[in-house]
Chains A and B, each alone.
Chain A
């Protein structure tokens, strides 16, 4: 019993000391062992680690990729068209010792402030550079601009012990006061397009009508020409038929045709004739033998 009485407090002390001298570094963390504020050890790999109880303390830092959104800033590219830009950065703590030295006990909050100002400066610098216009920002080159901001920020943030993994621009918009003007311009463009559409419609319609009218005229006159050719051929054929037939006895033709013509010309009862009975027709009118 007495042994137990002694054993239990002893065990308590041992356990307590043991517990305060070991610590686990998680996969997600890096840890610093500080002794009265002085950096004594760096634990970058996960696993079990030791420290001296009471005098040393452990400070843990996130080893994952952290995010930082910058405030919206206005930049003026070289063509003087202002743009409202914000970005976000993805970064991680590369060097905990340097990080601790740079930001002190403030930790991530201080680091975010610093990184944020670094980013803003780099965004302004890269987007405000000589050859960068707002057209460059609004084009395929945006990616390379983001790459440049990231590299510059990486260089500037190296002193903070940070590794800037990625910087991406989010919005690159017009300032609110320019928004209305842009909307007005878009509207005007659309109106122009609408007017253009209708004008083109009219143009096309007129073209089609004119072409149709022309084709009509052409078709009709073609047909007319063709018809005249046909009529001419017909007349020619008629003439040749007549010529062939009548040419065989011209005298008889004259006689025959005259008779026909008399009949046609004098028919209808609307003609009167004053004649002498001398004509051949009256040869027998006065005597049974023709007077010769």
Chain B
């Protein structure tokens, strides 16, 4: 009998449990009040009420399942059965009211639909059915990828202040700072993050020229975007925390990227030309400096040579002069003779005695001087 009636009770309990499971998810507003009206009364009544509820549900369940026997025997249960049922009901109630929150989660508890408290990780108690709860994963990071052109047409193309188009792709990583705010203030958190992020990024891009976006401002853009998105999210009291914004790509659109690469090539070409010119300049300047130094050194050398020669000559002259002044006549004679000896020794001489040639006018012999022959002799002599 007890075993027999246990069947329907079990069935009832199960369907009740099913109700519990559904409660927090979608029936949160609807299911709890059914028991809620009974609960404020004494424990006994509560239990009875719940029992009756289960009878109702179990009866229905039984009916639909076609186990009519259980339903028919229902009214004839004994005291023991009632006690057992009550115990089972309490166990079920405790089971339904206690839940665990994992370390990365938080729960939000609602007391009759009204925000009651935020549950921290661990074992939490939410007396069913007055308190319902929802568990939200707060720490795990969600990523919204915005501006991927392959998937969504021209979404990533944004217009800049100078009417150029830039292809932007970025990710927004977010988690939940306040689960209660998230649940109560925002209907579509993910869509909201996406839409706000896109809007903020477009706003930033629209307020900037193309060149800085492409070159140096990426970090600044990401930071500004993060701040603005966060500010908007705070305006909505969304409880969303923007963890970071990754500006993946800020490039010219692929239709014109070749032209941009050409500019880069041209920049390098310009650099190359300048460096070549610098190299040329360095080379010729060094050469010129060397040449100038050479010219100067040569001049200095000339100076040294000339002055030294002059000094030498002067000194030699002075020495000779000194000797000369001691015995002028002799020295003069000696000098003269020595020099003439050397001078006349080296040269071809033709000595014509004036007395032979004749001292009187027209009476003398005209000497014949074959100058060319003389010269020829001297050269052949030299050649030999």
Contact = CB atoms under 8 A, between A and B. Distances in A.
A114 B326 CA distance: 138
A62 to B, nearest CB: 6
Interface string A40-73: 0000011110000000000010111111010000
A64 B187 contact: yes
A231 B306 CA distance: 9
Nearest to A233: B303
A190 B292 contact: no
A225 B260 CA distance: 53
Interface in A178-201: 179, 182-183, 186-187, 189-191, 193-195, 197-198, 200-201
A24 B37 CA distance: 11
A29 interface: yes
A273 B350 contact: yes
A191 B313 CA distance: 76
A204 B271 CA distance: 10
A170 B202 contact: yes
Contact of B350 (A25, A171, A272): A272
A235 interface: yes
Interface in A143-171: 143, 146, 165-166, 168-171
Interface size class of chain A, counting residues whose CB lies under 8 Å from the partner chain: 35 or more
Q: For this complex, into which size category does the number of interface residues on chain B fall?
A: 35 or more
A227 interface: yes
Contacts of B145: none
B87 interface: no
Given A186-B164, A204-B270, A275-B351, A262 B343 contact: yes
Nearest to A169: B199
Given A227-B299, A259-B335, A276-B352, A170 B199 contact: yes
Given A187-B259, A278-B354, A271 B160 contact: no
Interface in B279-317: 280-282, 284-285, 287-289, 291-293, 295-296, 298-300, 302-304, 306-307, 309-311, 313-315, 317
Contacts of A183: 165, 253, 255-256
B29 A24 contact: yes
A271 B354 CA distance: 22
A84 to B, nearest CB: 10
Interface stretch (B49-57, B91-99, B169-177): B49-57
B163 A182 contact: yes
Contacts of A36: none
A219 B192 contact: no
Contact of A241 (B158, B186, B307): B307
A271 B348 contact: yes
Given A242-B310, A272-B349, A216 B277 contact: no
B52 A12 contact: yes
Interface in A249-292: 249, 252-253, 255-256, 259-260, 262-263, 266-278, 280-282
Nearest to B28: A26
A91 to B, nearest CB: 11
Contacts of A231: 299, 302-303, 306
B369 to A, nearest CB: 7
Contacts of A168: 195-196, 199-200, 203, 232
A238 B306 contact: yes
B291 to A, nearest CB: 6
A273 B343 CA distance: 11
Give the dominant DSSP class at A's interface: helix
Given A206-B277, A242-B313, A138 B296 contact: no
A25 B29 contact: yes
Contacts of A227: 295-296, 298-299
Interface stretch (A3-11, A96-104, A122-130): A3-11
Contacts of A63: 184
Contacts of B296: 223, 226-227, 230
B324 interface: yes
Contact of A137 (B206, B271, B276): B206
A182 B157 CA distance: 12
A173 B332 CA distance: 114
A131 interface: no
A242 B349 CA distance: 34
Contacts of B265: 194
B112 A276 contact: no
B114 interface: yes
Contact of A198 (B207, B270, B348): B270
A224 interface: yes
Interface stretch (B11-19, B120-128, B136-144, B374-382): B374-382
B65 interface: no
14 contacts: A12-B52, A26-B28, A28-B183, A47-B112, A139-B161, A168-B200, A201-B266, A208-B280, A212-B282, A217-B288, A271-B347, A272-B375, A272-B378, A275-B350
Interface of A: 1, 4-5, 8, 11-12, 15, 18-19, 22-29, 45-48, 60, 62-67, 69, 83, 87-88, 90, 134-135, 137-140, 142-143, 146, 165-166, 168-174, 176, 179, 182-183, 186-187, 189-191, 193-195, 197-198, 200-202, 204-209, 211-213, 215-217, 219-220, 222-224, 226-231, 233-235, 237-239, 241-242, 244-246, 248-249, 252-253, 255-256, 259-260, 262-263, 266-278, 280-282
User: When A and B form their complex, which 9 residue pairs have the shortest distance between CB atoms, in order from nearest?
Assistant: A201-B270, A223-B292, A245-B314, A227-B299, A212-B281, A205-B277, A234-B303, A190-B259, A194-B266
Given A26-B29, A65-B192, 7 more contacts: A5-B75, A15-B53, A19-B34, A138-B207, A190-B256, A227-B299, A249-B321
